[in-house]
Structure 1
Amino acid sequence: MPDAVVIGGGLAGSSLAIRLGSLGWNTMLFDRLRFPRHKACGEFLSPETLEVFKELGVYVALKALKPGRITKARIVFRHGGVVEAKLEQPAWGLSRYEMDAVLLEAAEKAGTQVHTGTSVSSIAADSGAFRIGIRSAGGTNILYARTVFAAWGVHPRTELAARPAKRRGRTAYIGIKAHFGGVATDQAVELYFIRHGYIGISPVEGGKTNVAALLPLDRIRRKGNSVRELLLSAAADNKQLAERLAGGTVIPDSEVSIAPVYLSLEPDVWGIVPQIGDAGAMIPPLFGDGMSAALRSAGRCAHYGDKYLRNAMSMEEWYRAYRLDMQKEYASILSLGRRLQALANMPVVPRIFTACARMFPQLGDAVVKSTRMGPQTPPENGDDGHG
């Protein structure tokens, strides 16, 4: 019987598997897709994220991929106003296609058994363990494990949950992304506001530019039949963005979309099992530290999972401590993300903000800093969070 089963091989799931495997626990990871693969993501890695990669032992391997260097952030409103801020430390732009593969390989090196092209069809508590239904090309199987961790992404797997998902926003979005060639960048991550949505641009490895968007699903219908067409149609709502993309070409096989996406109103950190990353909270993409948040939730859950497996904590104590920790970490950034999104779509506010930022440049720095996670809070039980 494995000690831990991780469902999902993305950023949160693979980093959790690295931690659990490194702690000596017999860990298995399942993902219904095969790797490498593209993902609808802004692909911006904040300095805080890079520090976690050092802790996980993958920083050198990721740096060898020659990620795009990012030293500033730029916000471009629909009326043409621009606010720019310099980052305190350089950040990276790195595709999920490359990054996720490196993390999964590191999980295997840490001792995790990785099974891609394999989905989990059921989870049920059974006599102090969990009974897990597994489905792959080879057929179906039943597996028992001491613990299970949900890292299945933005779509709540209600068929696997013991309780309904927590409240999510009513607006259904579509997340889309493509890599472009021929779109010059100046070491900046750029956020362009359009009507009821936004499009981000950032450099990634190989001289490519990642273009990712979050758009209301009902407003994008019949706007195109491909990710490229949808991006260019949406970009027409921001003159500067349309001009930026006009000379670019989409790199083949980099287009990807996901829908529907609902932004979380509050963290949803536990169903029948603990939930990490986007499964625990879908953060507005304009919040600039989403991947750091996913890594942080995985690290915290690995800490409590280790204590549970060592019989130093009950499942109920784990649930209470992890839920309280994630409320502290996520509640404020979810609220901030909703407020920033609402304000940016008001006709007058962006103009006032742009004018104020011209007079007080430090205002732009403050806004960019507000979209980054602060220092990590200690675990609820008061120890250092590293087991």
Structure 2
Amino acid sequence: MYDLIIVGARCSGASLAIFLGRLGYNILLVDRATHVGPTLSTHIIGEVDVYQHLRIEKRMNSSGAPFLTRFRVNVDSHLFESDLIVTERAMSVRRELLDSYLMEEVKKLPNIKVELAINIKDVIKSNEKITGVIGIDENGNEKRYQGKVVVGADGRNSTIASLTNARIEQQSSIDELAVLYGYFSGIQPLPVGTIEWYWTKDSIAICNPIDGGKHCIAFMFHPSNFKSWCNVDEFSCKISKLNMLSPRITNLSLEGNLKGIKRINSYVKNTHGEGWVLVGDASANIHPISGVGIDNAICTSEVLAIQLDKYLRNQESWTDVMTEYKKYRDERIYPQFYASQKTQALHKTAITESQNSATSMLCTFPSLAKNLTIRSEAILQILQEDEHE
């Protein structure tokens, strides 16, 4: 009998295991993968405190990934740029590094048992409450695990969410953009670590420096073009056409393979039921255009750990702790969900020639740029009101 069975050993599951494992709970951490390696993911990490709490911040800082303190937006030939305001710094840490740091912390705790290459096929119930899971190992042997709480931290195609019939509370109402990214060498970095965002006529591109002097470059575009974009030459050609990036390309070279997904289908699901709870992408899968997937997974895991600790110590009821967890999840996730939908929809809006000319004047006439800044509060209020309509 485990205190906690966590299905999924990636960032949300491993983080939850660390937070509760340090409190002495007997935990099973199980995953279908044979080893923790690269996985499809967003790359921007903006939170600070939670990684300090996990005790992996120093390893992240020494990974070679530079601090990102600037944000640059390219709209056709126009450039908008500023210091980051939502965080003191961001980083772009590849998942093969981040997940290995988390697993190192997991292995320090003898009360956490890790079992890989286990495919969960069913849940165990007692009086309509989930009390465990049934898995199959790589040799075809059935394994039955009993636990006080079962956590689904197994990603956007969550088996636990499926087996528990977790209800979808909200899902995408638009035809979401496909995503494709790769790690590239041969690009001169900017003097200051910068997240670069490009609005183009047929795509959205995001570029940021990672470790080893490389850059992660992601394109988002209509799913019907996914197959052609998967061609490395086509992808590289798209990069070379990015304004303000192409002059910095010296000898562009893809490291590894392109990774991506054609259909995202964002959703927010109910978080819990009797004896089970979801966290990370199993709970809410938001389009990576938001760039907050890793932070969301780990921050919600920390809050879930706090609430589960209260329950396991019989301080509060299951209903009360799950209500608090869901409240935090909803307050964090829903604004991001709606914002990602609106940003993708905005991609379809073409910029006219007259709008381009007007923007050029604002960018190249110093007095207009200063007046734009002076009136920025009123302009921002108008734009926010438009978004809420």
TM-score normalised over the length of structure 1: 0.81
The residue type equivalent to 2:254 in the other structure is V
Which range is displaced more, 287-296 or 20-29? 287-296
Structure 1 residues 126 and 25: CA distance shift in structure 2, 3 A = same
1:73 is aligned to 2:71: yes
What CA distance in whole angstroms lies between the structure 1 residues aligned with 2:202 and 2:6?
Answer: 35
Q: Per-residue CA shift, 1:230-262, capped at 9, x if unaligned?
A: 63466578555666668410013x532334321
Tell me the matched-pair count: 359
1:19 is aligned to 2:19: yes
Equivalent residue number for residue 82 of structure 2: 85
Decide which structure has the larger Cα Rg and report it. Answer: 2
Following superposition, the deviation at residue 346 of structure 1 comes to 1.6
Following superposition, the deviation at residue 199 of structure 1 comes to 2.5
- Match of 1:142, SS state, is strand
Equivalent residue number for residue 154 of structure 2: 152
Q: Per-residue CA shift, 1:260-285, capped at 9, x if unaligned?
A: 32123x45433673221222222233
- Match of 1:274, SS state, is strand
Q: What is the RMSD computed on CA atoms of the aligned residues? A: 3.1
Q: Is the 8 A contact 1:166 1:268 kept in 2?
A: yes
Percent pairwise identity:
19
1:260 is aligned to 2:259: no
Structure 1 residues 104 and 241: CA distance shift in structure 2, 3 A = same
Q: Is the 8 A contact 1:183 1:247 kept in 2?
A: yes
- Match of 1:102, SS state, is helix
- Unpaired segments ≥5 residues, structure 2: 364-368, 381-389
Following superposition, the deviation at residue 180 of structure 1 comes to 0.7
Which of residues 170, 187, 193 in structure 2 aligns to 1:167? Answer: 170
What CA distance in whole angstroms lies between the structure 2 residues aligned with 1:330 and 1:82?
Answer: 29
Q: Is the 8 A contact 1:82 1:354 kept in 2?
A: no
- Match of 1:130, SS state, is strand
Superposition pairs for residues 299-310 of structure 1, below 5 Å? Answer: 299-310=302-313
1:248 is aligned to 2:252: yes
The residue type equivalent to 2:3 in the other structure is D
Superposition pairs for residues 265-276 of structure 1, below 5 Å? Answer: 266=268, 268-270=270-272, 273-276=276-279
1:188 is aligned to 2:194: yes
Structure 1 residues 153 and 138: CA distance shift in structure 2, 3 A = same
Equivalent residue number for residue 52 of structure 1: 50
- Match of 1:83, SS state, is strand
- Match of 2:344, SS state, is helix
Equivalent residue number for residue 136 of structure 2: 135
- Match of 1:65, SS state, is coil
Structure 1 residues 129 and 312: CA distance shift in structure 2, 3 A = farther
